[in-house]
Structure 1
């Protein structure tokens, strides 16, 4: 058994998304203590920003005419796609940044599409948990309702395009504890945190097949 864990926080030592992912991972590890966990941290070890363009253009270039950089990018794309396809379960911890996914996450997704092909359901029948954390509130009736452009996009890629058996855990209001302007939301933030912790543990059990 192999769990692929992907993190994307630019603040890994204080990451809310990583803390929740740790709970899910612990449940998976408890069920599979001798199995493998493959880790990829897109923020601390980012993929080359130019790799996707090189891999994409290489696909339209005869092999004999490809540059060394294009060949390297194609190999990277193929390796990332294989890493994902070989996982028995997938755990992603992806914070919301500037109302969307970070460039690191987008590069990872684009390279996998380049390596596996745009119609390849690379996560078909693979239990997958997406943990996403948001500093503010983006739900119905909030001033920024509809401003979360990350979660719908990730649902579309993971669940619809790649056909994962997807569970989504969301924790909003992560800035409430430190932002004086959000003091009135701290009780709600604490409840959302507790709910997300319970959901992360439950998702870990689903990943583990329990």
Structure 2
């Protein structure tokens, strides 16, 4: 049975969040193809992962027998997250753009699961695991747009998830999500609606293709 690790990081609940709405659609399509499968869900806004500490970081490079009690306790929390990633057959992440980057809660999760010599390095333990990121954003930062140079979500996650953890990475990008709320962006509402429609379609298609791939 396949296991999907689903992570949301938007501060907004339910349909109020573009990224959560699309990850929910992906998860629903996934469940249709894996009714007996497992979904491990982490809502990083509701239950934030602790930011990395000196004890949590140094414990990863200290032999278990040499760790202090504080290091052992901190690393135990990291280990839960690392094992969830390693045991997943696929990963789904909702990563909205906040101030040109990822939410701090998602960064905290990444800091915990990235461990040189295990999940990172010459032979990352989750290497090849398919991962889909729903990278929603209020404006457009696509190539050729005026704000192209301010896009630090996909670039960053490409470096960490693919370049460092070795995941087989794909993106779904609902953009212009602020258009319905910002009168100055009212002319962009049709583009927003088209982007949203395409994102939901992509979620269903990518979930189905991933299900077929894992079943092969």
2:32 aligned residue (23, 30, 33): 30
| 1:92 paired residue number | 93
Structure 1 residues 83 and 92: CA distance shift in structure 2, 3 A: same
| 2:192 paired residue number | 189
Shift of residue 66, structure 1, vs aligned partner? 4.0
Gaps of 5+ in 1: none
TM-score, scaled relative to structure 1: 0.91
Structure 1 residues 129 and 163: CA distance shift in structure 2, 3 A: same
Structure 1 residues 197 and 117: CA distance shift in structure 2, 3 A: closer
What CA deviation, in whole Å up to 9, does each residue of 1:111-137 have, x standing for no partner?
A: 111383531523323221111100111
Structure 1 residues 122 and 168: CA distance shift in structure 2, 3 A: farther
Shift of residue 67, structure 1, vs aligned partner? 3.8
| 2:207 paired residue number | 204
Shift of residue 69, structure 1, vs aligned partner? 2.7
Say which SS state the counterpart of residue 149 (structure 2) adopts.
Answer: coil
Is 1:145 aligned to residue 158 of structure 2?
no
Is 1:122 aligned to residue 125 of structure 2?
yes
Please report the RMSD computed on the Cα atoms of aligned residues, expressed in angstroms. Answer: 1.9
TM-score, scaled relative to structure 2: 0.89
What CA deviation, in whole Å up to 9, does each residue of 1:100-157 have, x standing for no partner?
A: 1121111111111138353152332322111110011112333322111111111121
Aligned pairs, how many?
209
| 1:79 paired residue number | 80
Which range is displaced more, 116-125 or 37-46? Answer: 116-125
